[in-house]
């Protein structure tokens, strides 16, 4: 997800096979932004991140780490508000191209437009690149943050 000034604020927790699946996942995040649980996590009290879950499934992760818990919490709240109103592009611009394309390239091969892989750990201790920590303690702290009651959109 990009902010209005085109900064990356959130990432998908993994890859999607095609652009249609990526758009579907984005719609799910948008539909549940106001009610989904957002968890905060840190490695030994530093490098705080947030992660959004819908029905227990990880659907979005913070694009950045934050030096303090309160900064991660503020970013998660901004994401929640922005995601609820996010516009989902039907055509995805590809880096290095001068034009937008959908999931089909000019030669008919399927592109993984919008799909990405990150090296960020999810709040379950798993590296989203597919590497497992084997259940050992990584020093990660977790805290769930529910939807705010009575909050106003600005």
Q: What is the rounded distance in angstroms from the CA atom of residue 140 to the CA atom of residue 98?
A: 42
Quote the pLDDT of residue 84. 86
Q: What value does the mean pLDDT take over residues 106-118?
A: 35
Mean pLDDT over residues 121-132, rounded?
A: 40
Check residue 64 and give its pLDDT. 93
Is 90 exceeded by the pLDDT of residue 68? Answer: yes
Q: What is the secondary structure of the chain as a DSSP string? A: -B-TTS-B-EE-SS--SSHHHHHHHHHHHHHHTTTSEEEEEEETTEEEEEEEEETTEEEEEESS-BSSHHHHHHHHHHHHHHHHT----SSEEPTT-SSEE-SB-TTSPBP-TT------B-TTS-BTTS---TT----EEEEEE-PPTT----
| Overall pTM surpassing 0.85 (yes/no) | no
Over 70: is that where the pLDDT of 118 sits? no
Provide the mean pLDDT of the chain.
71
Question: Torsion angle, CA of 16/19/20/26, rounded to 10 degrees?
Answer: 70
Q: Please state the domain extents for the chain.
A: 10-127
């Amino acid at each position: 997800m990009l902010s209005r000034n085109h900064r990356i604020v959130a990432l998908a927790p993994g890859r999607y096979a095609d652009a249609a699946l990526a758009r579907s996942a984005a719609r799910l995040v948008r539909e549940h932004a106001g009610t989904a649980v957002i968890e905060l996590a840190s490695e030994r009290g530093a490098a705080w991140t947030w992660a959004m879950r819908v029905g227990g499934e990880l659907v979005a992760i913070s694009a950045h780490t934050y030096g303090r818990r309160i900064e991660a919490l503020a970013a998660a709240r901004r994401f929640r508000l922005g995601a609820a109103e996010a516009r989902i592009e039907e055509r995805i611009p590809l880096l290095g191209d001068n034009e937008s394309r959908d999931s089909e390239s000019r030669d008919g091969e399927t592109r993984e437009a919008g799909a990405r892989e990150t090296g960020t750990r999810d709040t379950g201790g798993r590296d989203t690149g597919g590497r497992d920590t084997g259940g050992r303690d990584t020093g990660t702290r977790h805290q769930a943050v529910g939807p705010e009651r009575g909050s106003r959109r600005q």
